[in-house]
Structure 1
Amino acid sequence: MGSLLKWLLTSLLLVCSFHPATASAEQAKRFGDYVVHYNTLTTDMLNPDVAREYDIRRSRSRAMINISVIRQSDNQAVPADLEVTSGMLTGHKQNLTMREIREGDAIYYVSDFPVAHRDALNFAIRVKPEGSRQSHTFEFEKQFFTE
């Protein structure tokens, strides 16, 4: 398993163990044979070596989103076309440029972006797994605490 993916999954488990409300939050969406896993966090939580390896600036005022697509029939990561938008309640929206990262059999997509204390962002995600004729969309909200 790739070092960034392994670190993100470990950090998610740690966060869930310290914050019971987070543990019940679904961090995946299923669409037929595909499961889209997603996670957001401030980049100061990244291990410095991982951040350096993937050219992600560690900061409490920056966040990142990580997305992977798994085909359940063979439990394999698959490439996907992604469109990700984040928006604030004030109406300001931005398209996030997702970078594909491959490590062995792992494929995941990351983007980092600025955040301020108590920003509540709505994320809209459109994903089309390679080999699928259908796109799938979902949304989620995340509030960031940077202080």
Structure 2
Amino acid sequence: MKRWTFVFGLLAALLPFGAAAELSKKFGDYEIHYNALATEDLAPDVARAYGLSRSRNVGMLTVAVLKRDASGALQPVAAEVKATAVTLTARLTPLELKEVREGGAIYYIGQYRLSRPETLRFSLQIQPQGEPRRFDLQFQRTFD
């Protein structure tokens, strides 16, 4: 858990003031953390480390799945994560997410094209490993 918090904390700290905050949603013992941002907001070394293109016209989606254990602590878990982004003009973009494991952290990142100004509606389907239920969530992000 500490490593996961460090990774997302580091990412948030590298964003300029006013960038979108990380979002989360609870599903029983699970907590899903997610964020969408323009890659131009990433520090060059962070983008390079994750193989991401830095651009005003490229966005990045991050997703992490945590499960509360018997002691109440949140632990990262692997999951099958599917995501799409839809523009207000109904252009659908399936996102290819790659799993990243660092220390004890597990998270998923993917990139998408932006045509600014643009509002994207993201749909996520998340099935944690070993969990019969699938969790669906949607959120919207405007890029000026």
TM-score category by the smaller chain?
0.7 to 0.9
Structure 1 moving runs of 4+ over 6 Å: none
* CA deviation after TM superposition for structure 1 residue 113, in Å: 1.1
Q: Is the 1:4–1:50 Cα contact (8 Å) retained in structure 2?
A: no
- 1:53 matched to 2:49: yes
Can you give the 5+ residue segments of structure 2 that lack an aligned partner in the other structure?
none
Q: Distance in 2 between matches of 1:11 and 1:49?
A: 10
TM-score, normalised via structure 2 length: 0.87
Please give the per-residue CA displacement for 1:24-66, whole angstroms capped at 9, x wherever unaligned: xx71010010000001111011111111111101011111000
TM-score, with structure 1 as normaliser: 0.85
Q: How many residues are matched? A: 138
Structure 2 residue 3 is matched with structure 1 residue 7: no
Q: Deviations along 1:52-97, whole A, 9 cap, x unmatched?
A: 1111010111110000001122411100001101001111101100
Letter in 2 for 1:118: P
> Cα RMSD (Å) of the superposition?
2.0
Matches within 5 A, 1:1-147: 1=3, 4-11=7-14, 15=17, 18=18, 27-73=23-69, 74-145=73-144
- Aligned residue type for 2:60: M
SS at match of 1:66: strand
Whichever residue aligns with residue 83 of structure 1, its letter is K
1:50 match: secondary structure? helix
CA contact (8 A) 1:120 1:143 kept: yes
